[in-house]
């Protein structure tokens, strides 16, 4: 039986100065942002904020300098992003490019693709989205049907991507298309492409979510031409490349900090109201927070060491999503205040925000059931 490995990983002492710099920057930049907007964390977008972060050298931190990166350690990057998330900075614009697409292109992309994209991402001027889900392909990603058919000099793409976060504000999409159909092996024949979203034939339609805002989109491809040069990695290797991406996507601090602003406002409320019944519940929430942070750091340490902690990343994401989602219920049980849409006090407004967006915490980046299936496979049950 394969068991999980969670060794302690301590952040290097030299990250302390960086942490202070980030805090000072955030205190300045977020001074006027109300708590319920900070509660959006990485769902909140602000291109101007992304450019300011880039000017500090905090996007593409670990990338080689030749691609606009800063050649910092993964731990430096970890400190920056956990500070951003804990403060509720609107990091959504550059989030996907910095976390996922940049590393993907560094690993599998061509020199031309890297030169085209990475320096602009690192400057906060180019945003990416990820085209994976489709109308008939959600958790069952290998059921991808959007076709990329070989034509002279490139591919012709037809189909629809769905639930694509940030597509309406992104410049490029890393898309998973089917280049070959084999009913016997649907994991084969998938290929990743770097798609310029200005290409004719692409229609992006924002979809309002239950909060009334549009974060995700339907993206329709009608005879869209994608040049050969924009194929990422190798044809037919899309499944393996996507799987490799997911360890980065599933273990970061964004997987347990989505409700952190609510915890802060909850404690502020309890400071004012007093009463000792809530103490044990706050203690439990902090104990779980600290444990999740150590688990997330442990995975970061393995990533930095060049290991593949895909299983441990799924563990962090599953536990993290439970934690993030429980927060609104716990806060409701402890306080029972009316959740508000911006016209209440800070706590009520954050309650309104988190209560509404929390169902997405165990959907995005792999549903709870898929993650537990991955964990069960790791345990030797499948």
Partner 1 sequence: MNEFQTILADSVARLMGHEVDRHLLEAAETGAFPDKLWAALEANGLTRILVPEAMGGTGGTWSDARIVLSAAGKASAPGPIAETLVAGFLLAQAGITPPEGPLTLIEGELTLANGTLSGTAKHVPWARAATHGVAMVSRHGASQVLLVPLGESRAGEADNIAREPRDSLTFGNVAVQAAATALPENALRLYGALARACQMAGALDYLTTQSVAYANERSQFGKPIGKFQAIQQQLAVLSTQAAAAGMAASYGCASADKAGEGHDPAFEIAIAKIRADDAAGIATSIAHQVHGAIGFTYEHALHFATRRLWAWRAEYGAGREWAKWLGAGVIARGADNLWSDVTAR
Q: Judge contact between 172 and 117, C-beta under 8 A.
A: yes
Q: Alpha helix (H) ranges present in the chain? A: 15-29, 35-38, 47-55, 74-87, 92-96, 102-108, 111-122, 238-250, 260-273, 279-304, 310-334, 346-357, 368-379
Burial of residue 210 (number of CB atoms within 10 Å: 0-12, 13-18, 19+):
exposed
Residue closer to partner 1 by CB (options 195, 371) is 371
Q: Which of 173, 232, 264, 313 binds partner 1 (CB under 8 A)?
A: 264
Q: Judge contact between 353 and 35, C-beta under 8 A.
A: no
Shortest gap between Cβ of 15 and partner 1 (angstroms)?
10
Residue closer to partner 1 by CB (options 52, 372) is 372
Q: Which of 8, 31, 210, 338 binds partner 1 (CB under 8 A)?
A: 8
Shortest gap between Cβ of 280 and partner 1 (angstroms)?
4
Beta bridge partners of 177: 191
Residue closer to partner 1 by CB (options 338, 381) is 381
Residue with tokens 């490019």: 97
**Is position 214 an interface residue for partner 1 (rule: CB under 8 A)?**
no
Residue closer to partner 1 by CB (options 5, 332) is 5
Residue closer to partner 1 by CB (options 223, 279) is 279
Number of helices and strands in the chain (H, E): 13, 8
Q: Judge contact between 228 and 151, C-beta under 8 A.
A: no
Residue 38, CA distances (Å) to 10, 246, 254, 262, 364 in order: 28, 26, 13, 10, 19
Shortest gap between Cβ of 295 and partner 1 (angstroms)?
5
Q: Judge contact between 24 and 85, C-beta under 8 A.
A: no
**Is position 202 an interface residue for partner 1 (rule: CB under 8 A)?**
no
Q: Which of 13, 152, 200, 280 binds partner 1 (CB under 8 A)?
A: 280
Q: Which of 224, 295, 327, 328 binds partner 1 (CB under 8 A)?
A: 295
What is the Cα–Cα distance from 138 to 262, expressed in whole angstroms? 29
Q: Which of 142, 267, 335, 337 binds partner 1 (CB under 8 A)?
A: 267
Q: Judge contact between 161 and 175, C-beta under 8 A.
A: yes
Sites for partner 1 among residues 51-110 (CB under 8 A): 82, 86-87
Q: Which of 145, 268, 337, 340 binds partner 1 (CB under 8 A)?
A: 268
φ, ψ at 64 (rounded to 5°): -60, 150
Stretch that binds partner 1, among 124-132, 205-213, 216-224, 273-281 (CB under 8 A): 273-281
Q: Which of 260, 309, 328, 361 binds partner 1 (CB under 8 A)?
A: 260
Q: Which of 13, 32, 111, 271 binds partner 1 (CB under 8 A)?
A: 271
**Is position 289 an interface residue for partner 1 (rule: CB under 8 A)?**
yes
Q: Which of 205, 208, 284, 332 binds partner 1 (CB under 8 A)?
A: 284
What is the Cα–Cα distance from 125 to 209, expressed in whole angstroms? 26
Residue closer to partner 1 by CB (options 95, 347) is 347
Q: Which of 188, 220, 335, 375 binds partner 1 (CB under 8 A)?
A: 375
**Is position 244 an interface residue for partner 1 (rule: CB under 8 A)?**
no
Residue closer to partner 1 by CB (options 47, 373) is 373
What is the Cα–Cα distance from 217 to 239, expressed in whole angstroms? 23
Mention every residue, 6+ apart, whose C-beta is less than 8 A from residue 94: 50, 53, 54, 59, 121, 124, 127
Residue closer to partner 1 by CB (options 210, 280) is 280
**Is position 287 an interface residue for partner 1 (rule: CB under 8 A)?**
yes
- Reference 346, options 286, 243, 267; nearest CA is 267
**Is position 333 an interface residue for partner 1 (rule: CB under 8 A)?**
no
Total of residues contacting partner 1 (CB under 8 A) = 54
What is the Cα–Cα distance from 79 to 57, expressed in whole angstroms? 13
Question: In the complex, which residues of this chain contact partner 1 (CB under 8 A)?
Answer: 1, 3-4, 6-8, 10, 19, 23, 82, 86-87, 260, 263-265, 267-268, 270-271, 276, 278-295, 298, 312, 315, 318-319, 369, 371-373, 375-376, 379-382
């Amino acid at each position: 039986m394969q068991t999980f490995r969670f060794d302690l990983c301590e952040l290097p002492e030299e990250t302390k100065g960086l942490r202070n710099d980030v805090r000072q920057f955030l205190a300045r930049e977020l001074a006027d942002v109300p708590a319920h907007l900070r509660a959006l964390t990485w769902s909140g977008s602000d291109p101007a904020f992304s450019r300011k972060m880039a000017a500090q050298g905090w996007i593409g931190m670990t990338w080689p300098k030749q691609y606009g990166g800063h050649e910092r350690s993964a731990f430096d990057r970890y400190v920056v992003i956990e500070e951003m998330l804990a403060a509720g900075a609107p990091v959504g614009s550059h989030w996907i490019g910095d976390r996922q697409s940049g590393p993907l292109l560094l690993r599998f992309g061509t020199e031309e693709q890297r030169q085209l994209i990475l320096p602009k991402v690192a400057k906060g001027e180019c945003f990416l989205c990820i085209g994976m889900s489709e109308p008939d392909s959600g958790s069952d990603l290998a059921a991808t049907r959007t076709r990329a058919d070989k034509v002279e000099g490139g591919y012709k793409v037809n189909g629809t991507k769905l639930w694509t976060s940030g597509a309406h504000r992104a410049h490029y999409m890393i898309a998973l298309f089917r280049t070959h159909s084999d009913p016997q092996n649907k994991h084969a024949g998938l290929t990743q492409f770097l798609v310029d979203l200005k290409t004719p034939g692409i229609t992006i339609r924002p979809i309002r979510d239950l909060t009334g805002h549009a974060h995700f989109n339907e993206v329709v491809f009608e005879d869209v031409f994608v040049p050969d040069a924009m194929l990422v990695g190798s044809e037919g290797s899309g499944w393996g490349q996507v799987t490799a991406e997911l360890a980065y996507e599933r273990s970061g601090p964004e997987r347990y900090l989505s409700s952190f602003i609510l915890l802060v406002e909850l404690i502020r409320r309890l400071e004012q109201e007093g009463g000792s019944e809530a103490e044990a519940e706050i203690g439990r929430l902090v104990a779980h927070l600290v444990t999740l942070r150590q688990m997330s750091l442990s995975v970061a340490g393995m990533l930095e060491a060049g290991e593949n902690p895909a299983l441990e990343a799924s563990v962090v994401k599953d536990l993290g999503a439970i934690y993030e989602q429980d927060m609104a219920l716990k806060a409701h049980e402890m306080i029972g205040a009316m959740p508000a849409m911006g016209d209440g006090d800070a706590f009520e407004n954050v309650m309104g925000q988190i209560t509404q967006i929390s169902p997405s915490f165990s959907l995005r980046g792999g549903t709870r059931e898929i993650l537990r299936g991955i964990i069960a496979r790791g345990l030797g049950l499948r």
